[in-house]
Structure 1
């Protein structure tokens, strides 16, 4: 089943996504329910515009990127195993800043 979600980016993460701070996306039909683990490579392959190594490391987000699901820390929601629900809001906030 397809799954509409809102992805928000801040703290510099938006620079990797063509300076877009908010993306309304519909994750395509999938034989299994969408989880954050399955969403991340889809986001990398379909939305990320540059430097994927600054967004993902292995199968997860890079250290220094805070992830919120509907305003709650994703660690409270099961991290990569969280099953996305229609109209969820996923926020990626980069806490790493160059200097």
Structure 2
């Protein structure tokens, strides 16, 4: 995890991330992941898995968006993320909603 992102996570007491794959991500890994996430959310077919990889670090993962749904007038997609870094694997699902033309993590 990039230093600034890591400190933000700690500020919210996300210490459980310390031993996760994402704790090993560089800022560049996060950028590759963000770009792949936008691609998956904007163009990925429901249930299709997109694989991303940072060739500089060898870190990689998959993104699998679920069918879109409506939440208070916004288009939302539950999305599964699997991340691999430093011989660790993390698996989580996050819901994103498209608000004002941008995907944001749903509250």
Considering the TM-score relative to the shorter chain, is it more than 0.5?
A: no
Higher helix share: 2
TM-score, normalised to structure 1, is 0.29
Larger radius of gyration between Structure 1 and Structure 2: 2
Higher strand share: 2
Higher relative contact order (CA 8 A, sep 6+): 1
TM-score, normalised to structure 2, is 0.27
